[in-house]
């Protein structure tokens, strides 16, 4: 299905799995640096680093830049058994571009590679070290180095952020984990200042404002309006939060949630059922404030990303889970609405993503642009053994592939929709639409009910029948004019796969 000057989530091709996206504008293009999952992979980040870029003036026009780095270029990883986890890139004073990365968690130091251009072939430079050439992460007293984020301030100082934290109380103190920041010399691999603790991790947050949203991993730093914004993944796993300070290396205070890949928002007045939130709910009750729970609208997993200003507009880049696992993640993005006081309201998950406005309310769209996918069972962590076949999920027919292969690329679709399962797509600017079609297959025998808002009456329903091959079914119905979401809810016997839908 061609995009034809449109863009939606995921913003890269359906067959591409680039999570942990760090967006950076260099010159007149935005570049995405991330790790690289494999469809149906058995581990995180099984493929080489690749890069995509787009003109800052046209976020519908993403270009594949190719492989920029592979583990074999690092002499520590020549045996090919390690994966490259989430990276970040910065331009140095010399005009070259430096890539910072950690291999998987068996190696606890930060590698550095360098290139003369943002999306060229990076070559191994070295490992972040101190003046005595001892590797940071291996010295006595060092904390684990993990998920490096790098930032160059206006005065030329380069700050390197790193670390992770325990996610459960039983893990506190079992490993040397922390959120840390250090500065680098002009050679970009030697530290100028020693790592110092930055954000509180689990067990350190009482009285700080970070309670319930302690630092877990994924440091990403940006500066705007004289403020430094540190985006990170919290202990809840599914959310990216932000902390803000007037300085890049201290004084950060909790800001809020930027985005949740479960599309989870607090619901005031109810008691939390989540282990991570019990302590916070208790504190809220003691203070006379309403405790909350979280409604999950997607089966969720870890999250990692960053924020970036592109052509005057701010966006958050994050990732979603597919194929009932956390090992096949895809990059998504949402427009942000930065406030005058510097706060960032939580972004709602949408299908429109980088398009920045409602999509045209007519035409054929892929089911893979779904932004909420849930059923009668409350969504939970994306893990195939836990999920079983109770939940609908995104998948594809065919093996992992890449843009360089001269072959038909697999289509992504929603699998395993059962009675009561709902797929949500938002938003569309609907004008005069009088029918909706779905393209499905499976043993389903029932109807697909069409809604344009949550909690309202269906505007129509589409009768479907069992079909081994992809088959289209259509029903006439009058969709209301204006900006609306589209909700497709299956009711009937058997299971259904959904490939696409058509409005009008």
Q: How many Cβ atoms are within 10 Å of 331's Cβ, its own excluded? A: 25
User: Strands 227-234 and 149-152: what pairing?
Assistant: unpaired
Q: Cβ distance 59 to 9 under 8 Å?
A: no
Return the active site residues. Answer: 20, 217
Closest C-alpha to 124, from 70, 48, 187: 70
Rounded Cα–Cα distance for residues 77 and 58 (Å): 38
Per the CB < 8 A criterion, the answer to whether 489 and 420 are in contact is yes
Parallel, antiparallel, or unpaired: how do β-strands 178-184 and 158-164 relate?
antiparallel
SS3 letters across 446-503: EEEEEECCCCCCCCEEEEECCEEEEEEEEEECCCCCEEEEEEEEEEEECCEEEEEEEE
Tokens at 81, concatenated? 């058994």
Asked if residue 124 lies in contact with residue 77, where contact means CB atoms within 8 angstroms, the answer is: no
Integer-rounded Cα Rg, in Å, for the chain is 23
DSSP string of 187-234, one letter each residue: TSSBEEEEEEE-S-BTTS-TTTT-TTS-EEEEEEEEEETTEEEEEEEE
Choose among 124, 107, 243, 247: nearest CA to 188.
124
Rounded Cα distance, 298 and 290, in Å: 25
Distance separating alpha carbons of residues 258 and 337, to the nearest angstrom: 10
Pairing of strands 422-430, 359-360: parallel
Is residue 374 within 8 A of residue 382, CB to CB? The reply is no
Contact (CB, 8 A) for 283 and 272: no
Question: What sign for the dihedral angle of Cα 237, 239, 240, 241?
Answer: negative
3-state secondary structure of 22: strand
Distances (CA, A) of 397 to 8, 39, 394: 21, 10, 11
Is the Cβ–Cβ distance between 437 and 462 less than 8 Å? yes
Assign 247 to helix, strand or coil: coil
């Amino acid at each position: 299905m061609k995009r034809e000057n449109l863009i939606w989530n995921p913003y890269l091709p359906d067959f591409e799995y680039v999570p942990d996206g760090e967006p950076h504008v260099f010159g007149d293009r935005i570049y995405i640096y991330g790790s690289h999952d494999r469809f149906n992979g058995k581990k995180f980040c099984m493929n080489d680093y690749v890069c995509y870029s787009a003109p800052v003036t046209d976020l519908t026009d993403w270009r594949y830049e190719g492989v920029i780095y592979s583990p074999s270029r690092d002499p520590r990883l020549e045996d090919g058994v390690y994966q490259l986890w989430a990276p970040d890139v910065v331009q140095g004073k010399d005009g070259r571009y430096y890539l910072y990365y950690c291999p998987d968690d068996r190696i606890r130091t930060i590698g550095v590679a360098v290139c003369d251009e943002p999306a060229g072939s990076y070559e191994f430079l070295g490992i972040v070290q101190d003046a005595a050439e001892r590797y940071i992460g291996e010295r006595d007293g060092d904390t684990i180095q993990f998920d490096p984020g790098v930032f160059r301030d206006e005065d030329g100082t380069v700050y390197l952020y790193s670390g992770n934290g325990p996610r459960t109380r039983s893990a506190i103190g079992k490993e040397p984990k922390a959120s840390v920041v250090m500065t680098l010399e002009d050679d970009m691999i030697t530290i100028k200042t020693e790592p110092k603790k930055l954000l509180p991790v689990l067990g350190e947050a009482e009285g700080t404002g970070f309670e319930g949203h302690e630092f877990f991993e994924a440091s990403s730093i940006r500066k705007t309006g004289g403020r430094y914004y540190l985006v990170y993944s919290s202990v809840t796993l599914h959310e990216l939060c932000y902390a803000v300070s007037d300085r890049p290396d201290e004084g950060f205070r909790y800001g809020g949630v930027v985005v949740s890949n479960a599309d989870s928002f607090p619901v005031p007045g109810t008691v939390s059922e989540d282990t991570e939130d019990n302590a916070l709910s208790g504190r809220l009750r003691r203070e006379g404030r309403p405790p909350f729970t979280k409604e999950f609208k997607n089966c969720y997993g870890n999250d990692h990303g960053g924020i970036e200003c592109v052509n005057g507009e701010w966006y958050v880049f994050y990732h979603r889970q597919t194929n009932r696992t956390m090992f096949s993640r895809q990059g998504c993005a949402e427009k942000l609405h930065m406030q005058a006081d510097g706060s960032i309201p939580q972004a709602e998950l949408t299908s429109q993503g980088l398009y920045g406005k409602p999509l045209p309310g007519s035409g054929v769209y892929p089911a893979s642009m779904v932004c909420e996918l849930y059923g009668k069972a409350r969504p939970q962590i994306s893990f195939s053994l836990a999920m079983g076949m109770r939940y609908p999920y995104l998948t594809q027919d065919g093996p992992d592939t890449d843009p360089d292969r001269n072959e038909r690329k697999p289509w992504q679709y929603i699998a395993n929709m059962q009675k009561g399962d709902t797929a949500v797509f938002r938003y569309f600017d609907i004008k005069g639409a009088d029918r909706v079609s779905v393209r499905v297959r499976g043993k389903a025998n029932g109807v697909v009910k069409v809604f344009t808002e949550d909690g309202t009456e269906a505007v129509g329903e589409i009768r479907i029948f069992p079909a081994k091959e992809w088959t289209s079914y259509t029903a006439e119905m009058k969709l209301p004019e204006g900006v609306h979401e589209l909700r497709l809810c299956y009711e009937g016997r058997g299971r259904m796969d959904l490939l696409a839908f058509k409005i009008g």
